[in-house]
Amino acid sequence: MIIESVDVFAFALPHVRDIGDGSQDMVLVRVRAGGHTGWGECEAAPLPTLATMVAPMSHSACHGVLDSVLGHPLDDVADIARLSRRVAERGLDLLQTPHAWSGVEIALWDLLGKARSEPAWVLRGAAANNARRPYASQLFGDDPQTTLERARGVAAAGFRAAKFGWGPYGRGSVAEDAEQVAAAREGLGPQIDLLVDAGTVWDDDVDAAAARLPALERAGVVWLEEPFVGGAVWAYAALARRSNRVRLAGGEGAHNAHVARQLIDHGGLGFVQIDTGRIGGIGAASQVAGYASSRGVTFVNHTFTSHLALAASLVPYADHPAGLLCEFPVSASPLAEGVTRTPLTLDREGMLRLPDGPGLGLDLDLDAVRPYLQEVEIVVNGQCLYRTPELAQ
Amino acid sequence: MIIESVDVFAFALPHVRDIGDGSQDMVLVRVRAGGHTGWGECEAAPLPTLATMVAPMSHSACHGVLDSVLGHPLDDVADIARLSRRVAERGLDLLQTPHAWSGVEIALWDLLGKARSEPAWVLRGAAANNARRPYASQLFGDDPQTTLERARGVAAAGFRAAKFGWGPYGRGSVAEDAEQVAAAREGLGPQIDLLVDAGTVWDDDVDAAAARLPALERAGVVWLEEPFVGGAVWAYAALARRSNRVRLAGGEGAHNAHVARQLIDHGGLGFVQIDTGRIGGIGAASQVAGYASSRGVTFVNHTFTSHLALAASLVPYADHPAGLLCEFPVSASPLAEGVTRTPLTLDREGMLRLPDGPGLGLDLDLDAVRPYLQEVEIVVNGQCLYRTPELAQ
């Protein structure tokens, strides 16, 4: 097959709020080749991502993404890996490249799977599609009472693990943060795993993070996620040395496998969290999954948007041991929830597996998200480089 | 003063070639506050950078750059640092942010210096403006004979150090690469320092890079630059262990101070090369300069474009010891060479210092670059988010 077209679509809610909810807008990529269509999602700011797709060449290491992809062959997984290397090399100096490429790469897996009638995890060479234990991923409430109610809701819904993050956490006092964590634990009861996400709030301030550890230990928190920005590997390492039972989790911002490897090698992580929609797709995420295993660090997906993104994010560790955690967005926007006609569902034990359909195994509901489609036009010197294409399968 | 306006301009040569010459296009930023105007340059792909400046908010950690800057106070260097933190926090998930912010940040230093009638290096708190030994930065020729002639030209021009890079280097055989390096040495003669830039050609293949070390050692090369992509810190460390006298240099791709710190802490670098136009501006680069000093790694600027970028890139280490190397572009495009009316010049000993004028101390020649101005328009849902502003002081 030859990659005939790559079309990119931006979506957004009518009113995007200034909160830590990454499901308020969305970038979808549609690839066509050999009579088949694949879909992928970028976890990325839409407008800069569109511009990165169509950017005019600046020099040999600074090409737009589509320029490196269109017209190339797509017959097996090695072709996807080859294109990933090509895009990385020709996009070296265009920082946004991995965020944009991720959606294309995922769409290539979906397309190739459909052409072969095989699920993406089989294409990837995974020997098994093991069950994951989904944790409900939610924002802290503005006050402990709201957090308590959200935690009760999660417990009532049958989840066996839950994560609370962002919102006020880390922005007030140590005591206020402790109350939030205690409220989450109270709402969940003693049996449900509790995870806490600080959303990089302490930047690289190790003492500020360490001050929260006693409350986290008391609540039996499994991991503290992103106390620091992802690049502050030394700060992760320093905090890991000061923690008893609470493990550190991080890596969602990793935009290539090398960045994730730094955190694994030098950051003292217990869990490395990878977003396939940012790191360069399923191939790059799978590299990290393999490396993490070899170093005794547990791989976990990062997903806060749609079930299309969720499915792509589970492929890289489909064959890791059964029962490992996975992130499962439970309060995503109508946009992110609407895009899949056949969302991933939990089995009666509350566990999650990838579907067995070809590619990512999902049907998209384009009519459901059409109201959110953004009409974008980018013109340079009178030439239209991008105009929102027709939204269709 | 209040930041009243931030305007961004993209430029490009009429015919951009697919070679490793980063001076073929350019992004300039103009900031106005309190009746003063400052200019900065992003070392970045123009179209994605424009889009990053004006991107609609995706969520609380994904704002466009200008949204975080306009209307904020600018009265001292602490205000610039505060804005840097604000932009980083609110742009955490917009990967292109540091490339875009760099140009704004540099313009803020230029503006503040003009308002205070002080050079940027004085504002930065540097106790001295020490002489730098500029190395002529050039591409390898397509064949050794061309490289030889270029090296003779550099020697005749009086440079005391020269760097050759990119072009065919690393893409052919070990023997061909050795001929290129020998030609450069022959053209320079025995006295001039020779540096070699592999332009990340070996990705993370340590053996491929190590195979070139004997020829580099024979030619007395001071440093081998970017054998690998910047993220492959472990590969840098492995190669450093296999080298005798040739030191490793890298870091130009660092998009924040944390990334550069990883290379310093774990990469075995002899030289860390920072581009103020990528890393987030003069503040972030100055952090790296200070940290590198404390760890015995030599800081060097990375600059392959204009003298506006060059001046900004020298500020972070103005007070490091006299005689240290600095990159000096000698065959930049007419665009990059045209933008400054008063380029930085070498003294009779062939050394370079920052000018003593306020801010970055340079006069721009906007008429010289006007023919290269790109007319760009970005429209979302019928609303124009960006249109090329009027190019004026």
ipTM of model: 0.96
Give the three-class secondary structure for A382.
coil
B96–chain A Cβ distance below 8 A for any pair: yes
Q: Please compute Rg for chain A using Cα positions.
A: 20
Whether residue A292 lies inside any domain: the answer is: yes
Q: Residue B39: how many CA atoms within 13 Å on its side-chain side?
A: 23
> d(Cα B218, Cα B313) in Å, to the nearest integer?
31
> Same domain for B32 and B16?
yes
How many interchain CB pairs under 8 A, A with B? Answer: 212
> Rounded to a whole number, what is the distance in Å from the CA of B39 to chain A's nearest CA?
21
> Are the C-beta atoms of residues B281 and B88 closer than 8 Å to each other?
no
Whether residue B347 lies inside any domain: the answer is: no
pLDDT value for B137: 86
- Is the whole model's pTM more than 0.90, yes or no? yes
> d(Cα A64, Cα A66) in Å, to the nearest integer?
6
Cβ contacts of A94 on chain B, cutoff 8 Å: 44-45, 48, 96
> Rounded to a whole number, what is the distance in Å from the CA of A387 to chain B's nearest CA?
10
> Rounded to a whole number, what is the distance in Å from the CA of B81 to chain A's nearest CA?
14
Beta carbons of B93 and A253 less than 8 Å apart: yes
Residue in A with minimal Cα distance to B375: A381
Q: How far is CA B146 from CA B132, B158, B195, in A?
A: 28, 19, 17
- Its domain, for residue B38, covers 3-122+366-387
Q: Where are the alpha helices (DSSP H) in B3-135?
A: 46-54, 77-90, 97-116, 120-123
> Same domain for B221 and B235?
yes
Beta carbons of B61 and A20 less than 8 Å apart: yes
DSSP, residue by residue, A262-325: HHHHHS--SEEEE-HHHHTSHHHHHHHHHHHHHTT-EEEE---S-HHHHHHHHGGGTTSPTT-E
Give the three-class secondary structure for A105.
helix
Give the three-class secondary structure for B346.
coil
pLDDT value for A329: 84
Predicted confidence (pLDDT) per residue in A186-214, tens digit: 999 999 999 999 999 999 999 999 999 99
Contacts of residue B132, defined as CB under 8 A and 6 or more positions apart, other chains included, come to B314, B323, B324, B325, B326, B351, B352, B353
Q: Who among B46, B62, B99 is closest to A45 (CB)?
A: B62
- Which among B206, B53, B79, B380 has a CA at the least distance from the CA of A388? B380
B21–chain A Cβ distance below 8 A for any pair: yes
B187–chain A Cβ distance below 8 A for any pair: no
Whether residue B393 lies inside any domain: the answer is: no
pLDDT of residue B342 exceeding 90, the answer is: no
Residue in A with minimal Cα distance to B65: A48
Q: Which of residues 192-221 of A touch B (CB under 8 A)?
A: 199-200, 203-204
B25–chain A Cβ distance below 8 A for any pair: yes
> d(Cα B327, Cα B306) in Å, to the nearest integer?
12
Report the number of distinct structural domains present in chain A. Answer: 2
**Residue A32 corresponds to which tokens in the numbers above?**
């066509």
| Signed CA dihedral, A306, A312, A313, A319: sign only | positive
In the predicted model, what is the mean pLDDT of residues A164-187?
Answer: 96
pLDDT value for B155: 94
Whether residue A360 lies inside any domain: the answer is: no
> Same domain for B179 and B289?
yes
Q: CB neighbours (10 Å) of residue B348? A: 6
Q: Which of residues 150-179 of A touch B (CB under 8 A)?
A: 166
> Same domain for B197 and B301?
yes
pLDDT value for A332: 80
- Which among B20, B15, B23 has a CA at the least distance from the CA of B308? B23
In the predicted model, what is the mean pLDDT of residues B141-159?
Answer: 95
> Are the C-beta atoms of residues B374 and B10 closer than 8 Å to each other?
yes
Burial A188-206 (b: 16+ CB within 10 A, else e): beeebbbbbbbbbbbbbbb
Q: Who among A17, A231, A374 is closest to B380 (CB)?
A: A374
- Which among A232, A213, A291 has a CA at the least distance from the CA of A257? A291
Q: Which of residues 309-368 of B touch A (CB under 8 A)?
A: none
**If you ran DSSP here, which 8-state letter would residue B158 be given?**
T
Beta carbons of A376 and B377 less than 8 Å apart: no
> Rounded to a whole number, what is the distance in Å from the CA of B53 to chain A's nearest CA?
9
In the predicted model, what is the mean pLDDT of residues B283-298?
Answer: 98
Share of chain A above pLDDT 90, in %: 94
Give first-to-last CA distance, chain B, whole Å: 18
Beta strands in chain A (DSSP E): 3-12, 25-33, 36-42, 133-139, 161-165, 193-197, 223-225, 247-250, 271-274, 298-301, 325-329, 376-380, 383-387
Q: Who among B19, B166, B380 is closest to A47 (CB)?
A: B380
Cβ contacts of B89 on chain A, cutoff 8 Å: 200, 203
Whether residue B355 lies inside any domain: the answer is: no
| Signed CA dihedral, A83, A84, A86, A90: sign only | positive
> Are the C-beta atoms of residues A329 and A154 closer than 8 Å to each other?
no
> Rounded to a whole number, what is the distance in Å from the CA of A23 to chain B's nearest CA?
8
> Same domain for B32 and B89?
yes
pLDDT-derived band at A137 (thresholds 50, 70, 90) equals confident
> Rounded to a whole number, what is the distance in Å from the CA of A379 to chain B's nearest CA?
5
In one-letter notation, the amino acid at residue A291 is Y
> Same domain for A106 and A127?
no
Whether residue A250 lies inside any domain: the answer is: yes
pLDDT value for A26: 98
> Same domain for A322 and A223?
yes
> Same domain for B286 and B377?
no
pLDDT value for A342: 87
β partners of residue B276 = none
Cβ contacts of B21 on chain A, cutoff 8 Å: 59
Q: Which of residues 357-386 of A touch B (CB under 8 A)?
A: 374-382, 385
In the predicted model, what is the mean pLDDT of residues B365-382?
Answer: 98
pLDDT value for A331: 74
**Residue B251: which CATH number?**
3.20.20.120
**Residue B53: which CATH number?**
3.30.390.10
> d(Cα B81, Cα B281) in Å, to the nearest integer?
10
Whether residue A259 lies inside any domain: the answer is: yes
Give the three-class secondary structure for A193.
strand
> d(Cα A380, Cα A386) in Å, to the nearest integer?
10
Share of chain A above pLDDT 70, in %: 100
- Which among A105, A265, A29, A216 has a CA at the least distance from the CA of B234? A265
In the predicted model, what is the mean pLDDT of residues A77-106?
Answer: 98
> Same domain for A109 and A76?
yes
β partners of residue B42 = B27
A117–chain B Cβ distance below 8 A for any pair: no
B24–chain A Cβ distance below 8 A for any pair: yes
pLDDT value for B88: 97
A227-236, A340-349, B58-67: which range is least confident on average? Answer: A340-349
Contacts of residue A156, defined as CB under 8 A and 6 or more positions apart, other chains included, come to none
Residue in A with minimal Cα distance to B50: A48
pLDDT of residue B177 exceeding 90, the answer is: yes
> Same domain for A175 and A294?
yes
A40 phi-psi bin (left φ>0, alpha ψ -120 to 50, beta other): beta
Residue in A with minimal Cα distance to B372: A381
> Same domain for A176 and A284?
yes
B42–chain A Cβ distance below 8 A for any pair: no
What are the backbone angles phi and psi of residue B251, rounded to the nearest 5°?
Answer: 120, -5
What mean pLDDT, rounded, does chain A reach? 96
> Rounded to a whole number, what is the distance in Å from the CA of A85 to chain B's nearest CA?
9
Q: How far is CA A301 from CA A98, A132, A258, B265, B357, in A?
A: 17, 10, 17, 28, 52
In the predicted model, what is the mean pLDDT of residues B311-330?
Answer: 95
Predicted confidence (pLDDT) per residue in B67-103, tens digit: 999 999 999 999 999 999 999 999 999 999 999 999 9
Beta carbons of A265 and B266 less than 8 Å apart: yes
> Same domain for B116 and B134?
no
> d(Cα B269, Cα A360) in Å, to the nearest integer?
43
> Rounded to a whole number, what is the distance in Å from the CA of B190 to chain A's nearest CA?
32
pLDDT-derived band at A40 (thresholds 50, 70, 90) equals very high
Q: CB neighbours (10 Å) of residue B142? A: 12
pLDDT of residue B329 exceeding 90, the answer is: no
Predicted confidence (pLDDT) per residue in A301-333, tens digit: 999 899 999 999 999 999 999 999 999 988 789
Residue linked to tokens 């790191």: A279
> d(Cα A290, Cα A299) in Å, to the nearest integer?
9
In one-letter notation, the amino acid at residue A265 is D
Number of H helices, E strands in chain A: 15, 13
> d(Cα B114, Cα B109) in Å, to the nearest integer?
9
**Residue B181 corresponds to which tokens in the numbers above?**
């390096």
Whether residue A278 lies inside any domain: the answer is: yes
pLDDT of residue B331 exceeding 80, the answer is: no
Q: Residue B297: how many CA atoms within 13 Å on its side-chain side?
A: 28
Q: Which of A298, A322, A338 is the last residue of a domain?
A: A338
